[in-house]
Amino acid sequence: MSDVKPIPLTFRIIAGIALLVLLVPVSIVVMAGFNSGEFLRFPPDGLSLRWIKEFFVSQTFLPAFKMSFGLALATTFVSTVLGTLASVFLTRSTSRWREMLRALFIMPVILPGVVLGLALYVFYIWTDLGLARSLPGLLIGHVLVTMPFVIATVTASLVDFDLSIEEAARALGASPLQAFMKVTLPNITPGIMAGTIFAFIVSFGQFELTLFLSTPDLQTLPIAIYTSLRYAFEPTAAAAGIFAIFLVTVSTLLTSRLVNLKKLLRRH
């Protein structure tokens, strides 16, 4: 084992560059949010909580943050329920439709967001059910693009679950529902929670689909930041970004404790 060669230097250098590409933009947002000046300069002006305070009284970014948060919670709830039920079917059914359904469930994330947004918008106008530019219409779109993530994580944990434990409960007299609820469900809970967090983050950061479905009074955080970016670099947007970065970091750490990252990677 002592003979194992270290990773080549060139590889280490390029890997470092890749890390910089991933992390520098995020660090800049954090710096801009804590910067004391109007504009991030080189060298920076100094630290201040000015923009964080500004964010809490902002008429644009605070409501948008709340809107994104609430929408993501509602989306996550619907996606988790629908997706978990579907996952049980997908892992246990012997139906020949199973593969087709699996493909159908992946489709919404394969479709470019702009195309799906346009399709939904046209559909909402045609059916005239009041879904166009409404909160329920937006929620439907977000459920579509988050459910595949719930199904992927929950299916993975169901595949890993040892069925004989559930069968043992059945043999000892539990009804199918009891055996599932009392034995299987607790065992796959980490997988379901990971799927829930994934869904929340995907919904919270969703942009291209939302672009077609939101209105000025239904602005989510990505849309609000996008709109402001077309005119100026508002440091308040960066301050809002800091809270989003915090949210994503915490949830990624949570997910990595809930599911075995290595296992998840192997499946991808």
Residues 21-40 that bind other proteins (CB under 8 A): 21-29, 32, 39-40
Kindly tell me which residue out of 72, 90, 188, 193 binds other proteins, with binding defined by CB under 8 A. 90
Residue 193 or 237: the one with the smaller Cβ distance to other proteins is: 237
User: Would you count residue 49 as binding other proteins (CB under 8 A)?
Assistant: no
Question: Which residues within the stretch 206-265 sit at the binding site for other proteins (CB under 8 A)?
Answer: 207-208, 211, 221-222, 225-226, 229-230, 233, 237-238, 241, 244-245, 248-249, 251-253, 255-256, 261-262, 265
Question: Between 98-110 and 135-160, two packed helices, what is the crossing angle to 10 degrees?
Answer: 130
Least CB distance to other proteins at residue 215 (A): 13
Kindly state the tokens that stand for 57.
């009284």
62 or 119: whose CB is closer to other proteins?
119
DSSP string covering 15-41, please?
Answer: HHHHHHHHHHHHHHHHHHHHBSSSS--
Q: Which is nearer to other proteins, 2 or 59 (by Cβ)?
A: 2
For residue 41, give the amino acid letter.
R
* Interaction between residue 72 and other proteins (CB under 8 A): no
- Binding mask 168-187 toward other proteins (x if CB under 8 A, else -) reads --x-----xx-xx---x---
> For residue 96, what is the DSSP state?
T
Please name the residue ranges forming H helices in the chain: 9-34, 50-57, 61-92, 98-110, 113-127, 135-160, 163-171, 176-179, 185-205, 208-213, 221-229, 235-258, 261-267
How close are the terminal C-alpha atoms of the chain, in Å? 30
Both structure tokens of 70: 């609430």
Binding-site member from 95, 130, 162, 189 for other proteins (CB under 8 A): 95
